[in-house]
Structure 1
Amino acid sequence: MPAKVVVIGSLNMDLVTRAPRLPRGGETLIGESFATIPGGKGANQAVAAARLGAQVSMVGCVGNDAYGEQLRGGLLAEGIDCQAVSVVEGASGVALIVVDDNSQNAIVIVAGANGALTAEVLDRVDEVLQGADVIICQLEVPDATVGHALKRARELGKIVILNPAPASRTLPADWYACIDYLIPNESEAAVLSGLAVDSLESAEAAAAHLIAAGSGKVIVTLGAQGLVFANGARFEHFPAPRVKAVDTTAAGDTFVGGFAAALASGKSEVDAIRFGQAAAALSVTRAGAQPSIPTLLEVQAFKS
Structure 2
Amino acid sequence: MSDVLVLGMAVVDFVMSMQSLPTEATKYRADKARIVGGGVAANAACAIARLGGAATLGARLGDDPLGDLILADLQKDGVDTTLVHRTPDGRSSFSSVYVDAAGERQIMNFRGEGLTETTGWISEAPRSRAVLVDTRWTEGAAAALDLARDWDVPGIVDGEAPLDPVLMEKATHLAFSRQGLRSVTGTGAIDAGLEMLARRYGNWICVTDGANGVFYTTPNGIAHIPAFRVEVVDTLGAGDVWHGAFALSLAEGAGEPDAVRFANAAAALKCMTFGGRAGTPDRSAVQTILKENE
What TM bracket, shorter-length normalisation?
over 0.9
- 2:198, 2:125 → 1: CA distance? 29
Q: Can you list the C-alpha shifts for 1:13-71, whole angstroms capped at 9, x where unaligned? A: 00111221112253543332332111111100000111112111111122222221121
Q: Are 2:132 and 1:136 aligned?
A: yes
Paired residue type of 2:100: D
Matches for 1:55-66 after TM superposition, within 5 Å: 55-66=54-65
> TM-score, structure 1 length as denominator?
0.89
- 1:225, 1:27 → 2: CA distance? 35
> TM-score, structure 2 length as denominator?
0.92
Matches for 1:116-265 after TM superposition, within 5 Å: 116-118=115-117, 120=118, 122-128=119-125, 131-140=127-136, 142-165=137-160, 167-168=161-162, 171-172=164-165, 174-196=166-188, 202-214=189-201, 216-232=203-219, 234-265=221-252
- 1:232, 1:151 → 2: CA distance? 26
**Which residue is 2:111 aligned to?**
111
**Which residue is 2:278 aligned to?**
291
- 1:209, 1:26 → 2: CA distance? 42
Paired residue type of 1:210: L
Contact kept? 1:176, 1:213, Cα under 8 Å? no
- 1:233, 1:143 → 2: CA distance? 32
**Which residue is 1:39 aligned to?**
38
Q: Are 2:266 and 1:279 aligned?
A: yes
RMSD, aligned CA? 1.8
* Structure 2, unaligned runs of 5 or more: none
Paired residue type of 1:124: W
How far apart are 1:160 and its partner, in Å?
0.4
SS at match of 2:187: coil
- 2:233, 2:139 → 1: CA distance? 36
Q: Can you list the C-alpha shifts for 1:200-240, whole angstroms capped at 9, x where unaligned? A: xx211111122223151111001011110113452111111
- 1:71, 1:254 → 2: CA distance? 17
User: When the two structures are aligned, how many residues end up with a matched partner?
Assistant: 290
How far apart are 1:186 and its partner, in Å?
1.0
Contact kept? 1:139, 1:146, Cα under 8 Å? yes
- 2:201, 2:45 → 1: CA distance? 26
Contact kept? 2:15, 2:276, Cα under 8 Å? no
Paired residue type of 1:189: L
Paired residue type of 2:2: A
- 2:99, 2:73 → 1: CA distance? 23
- 2:48, 2:25 → 1: CA distance? 39
Percentage identity across paired residues of the two chains: 27
* Structure 1, unaligned runs of 5 or more: 197-201
Contact kept? 1:278, 1:302, Cα under 8 Å? yes
Contact kept? 1:50, 1:80, Cα under 8 Å? yes
